[in-house]
Amino acid sequence: MMTGDKNHKTCFHCALPVPTGCELTVQIEEEQRPVCCPGCKAVAELIRDTGLSRYYDLRDAPEPGVGRPPEEAAEWKVFDSPEMLDAFTESHDDMREATIYVGGMYCSACSWLIETTLGKQPGVASAEVNPITHRLRLRFPAREASLSSHLATLADLGYQPQPLSPESTVRPEVTEQRTALKRLLVASLGMMQVMMFAVGLYSMDFQGIDPDMQHFLRLVSFFVTTPVVFYAARPFFTSAWRGVARRKPGMDLPVSIAVGSAYVASVYATFTRGEAVWFDSVTMFVFFLTLGRFLEMRARHRSIDRSAALSSLLPNTATRIDNEAHVVVPVSQLTTGDHVLIRAGEAIPADGVLASGATSVDEALLTGEATPQTKVVGDELSAGSVNLDSMIEMTVTSTGGDTTLGTISRLSERARYARPAFVTLADKIASYIVVALLVVATGVATFWYFNDPDRAFVITLSVLVVTCPCALALATPAAFAAAGSRLSQLRLLVTNGNAIEALSRATLAVFDKTGTLTIGLPRITAVFVTDNAWTEKDCRVIAAALEHASTHPLARAFALPDELPVVTSHEIVVGEGVRGIIHGREWRLGNASFIGGVAEANDSAATHVFLGVDENVVAWFELEDELRPNVAQTLENLRGHGVGTALVSGDNRAAVESVASRLAIDDVYYECTPEDKLAIIEAAQKRGEKVVMIGDGINDAPVLAGADTSIAPAHGALLAQTSADVIMLGDSLSPLTTAVEMSRKTMRIVRQNLAWAIVYNALALPLAAAGYVPPWAAAIGMSASSLIVVLNALRLNRFE
Amino acid sequence: MTELWPVLTAAFITGFLGSAHCFGMCGGISGLFAVNASIASLRSQFPKAIAYNTGRILSYAFLGVVVAVLGKTAVDSIPDLMAPVRLASGLLIVLVGLQLAFGWRILAPLENAGARLWKRIAPAAKSLVPVNSIPQAFGLGLIWGWLPCGLVYSVLLLAATTAEPGGGGLVMIAFGLGTMPAMVATGVSASKLAQFMSGKRMGAGLLIVLLGLATIAMPVMKLAGTQGHGGHNMSSQTMES
């Protein structure tokens, strides 16, 4: 960190103090800048000459407070109130610590810039930026109690600061990862060092031993290995002990025995000037194990990073309209029914309904839909999407965890903890394998003790190391973790651990119709006027006027014309239709019996809505629900993968068959109750089919639960209610094919991994037991084997 | 060959802790990599960072081999030079340690000479920036190894005293490996590493000093050992070569 010492110039390039007497300068943007050494001068000139001076702009700190619109500065003042300080900072003794998400960071130059600029501000104890997660940890004395000036400074620098509340930042996986990285670092540095010494020791074995030199190298190796064993390898020991205590020995037990005994034996040999030391094998073994675990953990965490990114989409403050006055409040204080003002470019703070204005919003992160969505009054808006075009007012309908965004985050969370039965089984088996290995190792030790006691220890050590069932234990979880995170990138949230395996075996896909194969938004396909007193246009206008206030899904089919006649005595009759008085006559819109007339033939593919006046039918509308985009192609692809398709629906025969014939679905069931649907699925399962049910599951949760696995296309309000194993975000059904392909690939990789682990162990164990494998080679063999397994699993991340 | 290990260790630690300086100076290179890439693709920068560093270390190794050949020529042509060179090697390690511990810039004059050399090489670097491909990153690394840098020059001197082409190359590789953490540290919290290293400079510098002293003491110890064990160590390579 830089000091504020004014007596010293600091190097323009590297920010270190320029040594006295050094007169080197470099000309950047018309100005001579001091540099500290020829090296910095050379780099600075190179950067300038390649036209990348922007690099320095990114780091240049403008004067605080300059050029800042006052109304924006006021926005940060909110964070100075005691409630906000409590909500967004943590108190430690007399210091407060705030975590701030810094939007708009590019690279390490940015973190450098932020740390230096904030570090120089009065009242800042420390500022640390993590360039990966874009998070700034700011510590300042509690009595200073002003967060706003620092936020304003960050905004001045051109970043978008967002204070994060402690709940959202103290994420266990971050700590986990940081610790794991430290252990990996210790293990890798230790390994590099010890390997260097080991080469020396081995070369001396050939060249003749110089005991003093050998002792020296062994001593140094001992010093370097000790932190590797006691720090980097600690998780293995604790986990092994936990396994023993619970009487369920895990794969860490043989690892711990091998590391522990090799270390103790080596230390003994070092101080008694014994025959051989195995520090190199120990550090290498620990390094590769740690590396394997680290990679596996990265695969697991990747999906979490995404959900963390989701929660960072929310703004921290919103502009609430209280009796014409605009008040900036923290988002957490918004409640249902509030009116909020959202300017162009701002993120929408809560779920709500557009109350005034019209705009387009970017919902890409929520639905995967890349094109901006046009929104008019009455349309739903989702928290976390971005208002693109113009200022709008919104009525809040749900906040916080109840929003779509909150639900997606929660589902992602659930997905993370989903543990496939397959993995649990593998864990159980691993337990037996570990016991078997220990028995074998004891046998080997006994045999060699009686035949060649000098080699007994080395050989047993090799056996323990080479047969470490790490590959076996990693084979499945690594693959599932990688698959889960890749699927979530493809906008498929897996909330049940068994879904991937079930999906890979699917032989029959059963679809619901409305809202699944179709969008769920009907549109008028034909108007039949039966009373010549009225034109088609009259009928449409009157129907639109009647439906205007209705919330029924069919209502949206009647697009609003410019001018609507006035409706009085408007009434909605549930299950029947709507009625109201227009120009003194009573109009009704609804099903045939509601109008009072005789039912017209209703055996066609579409839904019919009748319009009547004074109990006489005037016209009827034919409504049809549009198919989702790419449905036909998706079903075709599924059949190409050997998955049959069936359609079950509660709708009438004609409507269902019309859809089925357009999509070439063979098995069609119509007018089904949820019980019927469940019976159909169970019948298919009796025939030996593995059934995947695709439906929104709002009304038929038992049906979803009855299938081998279930997938729900869902967004908006439906998300929270669905109980499906896999949730598809967005409008298209095509991720379905991806899900099936992905699940099969996952299972293929799991099988490859298991096969590899078994073959490797079957080959390595006899060789090691026969004494052909020295410990270092055993460490390499075992590590290579686990790395192969993890890397093979990580291939899933690249799945298209 | 055995005496190579203290030298290698010294080179490695010097690289590791000395690279706090490189942070400010060369850490920005990762910034150059990122100019055309969003932060999201940071992971894809990693292979480039590795290629770049491999190039850099190769250049160091080349320089190490060259100076070691010079050293060997000197030792071979002047028969009694071997022992003084060994002593010099130990003293140099001590010097490097002191330099690290107290932030001295003993070799600043050499940096100016290096800067002149760099002027001839720099144009080649310009065609490689911004770095968009792995070969470009490798190429840039090769060139970067020639950047005028006092730290590199001190370790090069150390490499020269090995008077073995292979040994000189190894010393520079160890040094290069030591600087790796700092150079790829954008992935980790770079600033934390910098803080860590600046805090440890004094201690590590003194550790290197001790290593240097041990290097000087080793032949003396051995001499004593040889006499004590009555020629037990006749096969020792160090005493003969």
Chain A interface test: which of B7, B16, B19, B25 (most A C-beta within 10 Å): B25
pLDDT at B129: 62
pLDDT at A712: 83
pLDDT at A6: 41
Sign of CA dihedral B223, B227, B228, B234: positive
The rounded mean pLDDT for chain A is 76
Tokens matching residue A190: 């230790």
Return the higher-pLDDT residue of A136 and A132.
A136
* Closest CA–CA distance from residue A46 to any residue of chain B (Å): 7
Burial of B83 from C-beta contacts in 10 A (0-12 / 13-18 / 19+): exposed
Average pLDDT over residues A162-176: 60
Average pLDDT over residues A196-223: 77
Query: What is the number of alpha carbons within 13 Å of residue A362 lying toward its C-beta?
Result: 13
Average pLDDT over residues A186-208: 78
Return the higher-pLDDT residue of A165 and A547.
A547
Residue A417: C-alpha distances to residues A293, A304, A411, A796 (Å): 18, 11, 10, 19
* Torsion angle (degrees, nearest 10) of CA A248, A253, A254, A256: 180
Chain centroid to CA A34: how far? 46
pLDDT at A748: 92
Query: What is the number of alpha carbons within 13 Å of residue A270 lying toward its C-beta?
Result: 20
pLDDT tier for residue A423 given thresholds of 50, 70 and 90: low
Q: Which of A744, A752, A746 is nearest to A789 (CA)?
A: A752
Chain A interface test: which of B4, B5, B207 (most A C-beta within 10 Å): B5
Q: Decide if pLDDT at B232 tops 50.
A: no
The residue with tokens 């003002």 is A341
Asked which of A19-23, A76-80, A713-717, A767-771 is least confident by mean pLDDT, the reply is A713-717
Contacts of B32 in chain A (CB under 8 A): 47, 52, 55
Cite the active site residues of A: 512
Check if A201 contacts B (Cβ < 8 Å): no
d(CA A190, CA A229): 10
Q: Decide if pLDDT at A253 tops 70.
A: yes
pLDDT at A40: 74
Tokens matching residue A625: 């629900």
Task: Name the closest residue on chain B to residue A181, using Cα atoms.
Answer: B188
pLDDT at A263: 92
pLDDT at A60: 39
pLDDT at B51: 82
The rounded mean pLDDT for chain B is 70
Cβ within 8 Å, pair B114-A38: yes
* Closest CA–CA distance from residue A226 to any residue of chain B (Å): 17
Nearest to B2 among A50, A134, A213 (CB): A213
* Helix or strand run (H / E) with residue A355: strand A351-356
Nearest to B130 among A43, A52, A132 (CB): A52
Contacts of A185 in chain B (CB under 8 A): 181, 188
Residue A732, classed as helix, strand or coil, is coil
d(CA A172, CA A588): 60
Nearest to B188 among A40, A181, A213 (CB): A181
pLDDT tier for residue A65 given thresholds of 50, 70 and 90: very low
pLDDT at A288: 81
Cβ within 8 Å, pair A38-B24: no
At residue A518, φ and ψ (nearest 5 deg) are: -105, 165
Cβ within 8 Å, pair A213-B189: no
Per-residue pLDDT tens digits for A323-372: 878 888 877 778 888 889 888 777 888 888 888 888 888 776 666 566 67
Query: What is the number of alpha carbons within 13 Å of residue A78 lying toward its C-beta?
Result: 19
pLDDT at A744: 92
Q: Decide if pLDDT at B193 tops 70.
A: no
pLDDT tier for residue B41 given thresholds of 50, 70 and 90: very low
Locate all alpha helices (DSSP H) within A108-233, ordered by sequence.
108-120, 148-156, 166-169, 172-207, 211-227
Per-residue pLDDT tens digits for A272-301: 877 778 888 888 888 888 887 787 777 666
pLDDT tier for residue B26 given thresholds of 50, 70 and 90: low
* Closest CA–CA distance from residue A208 to any residue of chain B (Å): 6
Chain A interface test: which of B17, B35, B112 (most A C-beta within 10 Å): B35
Per-residue pLDDT tens digits for B101-151: 776 666 667 777 777 777 777 777 777 766 667 787 788 888 878 877 777
Per-residue pLDDT tens digits for A588-602: 888 777 776 555 555
Neighbours of A425 (CB within 10 A): 11
Q: Which long-range contacts (C-beta less than 8 Å, at least 24 apart) are formed by A82-89? A: A83/A330, A84/A147, A84/A330, A85/A145, A85/A147, A87/A165, A87/A330, A87/A332, A88/A147, A88/A163, A88/A164, A88/A165, A88/A166, A88/A316, A89/A147, A89/A163, A89/A166
d(CA A708, CA A687): 13
Q: Decide if pLDDT at A308 tops 60.
A: no
Q: Which of A146, A135, A168 is nearest to A96 (CA)?
A: A146
Per-residue pLDDT tens digits for A228-244: 999 999 888 887 887 77
Query: Is A166 within 8 Å of A84 (Cβ atoms)?
Result: no
Query: Is A152 within 8 Å of A143 (Cβ atoms)?
Result: no
* Torsion angle (degrees, nearest 10) of CA A137, A143, A147, A149: -120
Residue window 124-143, chain A: list those with CB within 8 Å of chain B.
Answer: 128-132, 134
Tokens matching residue A72: 């924006």
Average pLDDT over residues A176-204: 82
Segments making up each domain of chain A, as ranges: 1-60, 70-170, 181-303+419-474+772-798, 481-517+628-742, 520-627
Check if A103 contacts B (Cβ < 8 Å): no
Sheet (strand A691-694) strand order: A492-494, A726-728, A709-713, A691-694, A508-511, A644-648, A667-669
Cβ within 8 Å, pair B9-A193: yes
Per-residue pLDDT tens digits for A602-619: 555 567 788 888 878 888
Q: Decide if pLDDT at A264 tops 50.
A: yes
* Closest CA–CA distance from residue A783 to any residue of chain B (Å): 22
Task: Name the closest residue on chain A to residue B11, using Cα atoms.
Answer: A193
pLDDT at A306: 57
Q: Decide if pLDDT at A720 tops 60.
A: no
Asked which of A22-26, A484-488, A568-572, B187-191 is least confident by mean pLDDT, the reply is B187-191
* Closest CA–CA distance from residue B53 to any residue of chain A (Å): 16
pLDDT at B239: 36
Tokens matching residue A267: 């230390």
Percentage of chain A modeled with pLDDT above 70: 77
Tokens matching residue A689: 């089919």
pLDDT at B184: 63
Contacts of B42 in chain A (CB under 8 A): 132
Per-residue pLDDT tens digits for A776-790: 888 888 878 888 888
| Architecture field, domain A520-627 | 3-Layer(aba) Sandwich (3.40)
Query: Is B125 within 8 Å of B143 (Cβ atoms)?
Result: yes
What is the Cα gyration radius of chain A?
Answer: 34
pLDDT at A158: 62
Q: Which of A506, A622, A468 is nearest to A558 (CA)?
A: A622
Task: Name the closest residue on chain A to residue B26, using Cα atoms.
Answer: A43
d(CA A219, CA A720): 62
Q: Decide if pLDDT at B72 tops 70.
A: yes
pLDDT at B214: 73
pLDDT tier for residue A556 given thresholds of 50, 70 and 90: low
pLDDT tier for residue A75 given thresholds of 50, 70 and 90: low
Cβ within 8 Å, pair B35-A130: no
Using the CB atoms, write b or e for A387-416: b if 16+ within 10 Å.
bbeeebbbbbbbbeebbbbbbbbbbbeebb
d(CA A56, CA A537): 65
CATH number of A70-170: 3.30.70.100
Per-residue pLDDT tens digits for A495-535: 777 888 888 888 999 988 777 888 766 777 778 888 788 88
Whether the upstream peptide bond of residue B130 has omega within 30° of 0, thus cis, is: yes
Question: What angle separates helix A172-207 from helix A279-311, to the nearest 10 degrees?
Answer: 160
Compute the count of residue pairs across chains A and B with CB atoms less than 8 Å apart: 144
CATH 3.40.50.1000 fits A481-517+628-742, yes or no: yes
Average pLDDT over residues A71-86: 66
The residue with tokens 């001190």 is B154
pLDDT at A229: 92
Asked which of A14-23, A35-44, B168-177 is least confident by mean pLDDT, the reply is A14-23
* Total-model pTM: 0.53
Q: Which of B116, B138, B149 is nearest to B57 (CA)?
A: B138
* Domains A70-170 and A481-517+628-742 fall in the same CATH topology: no
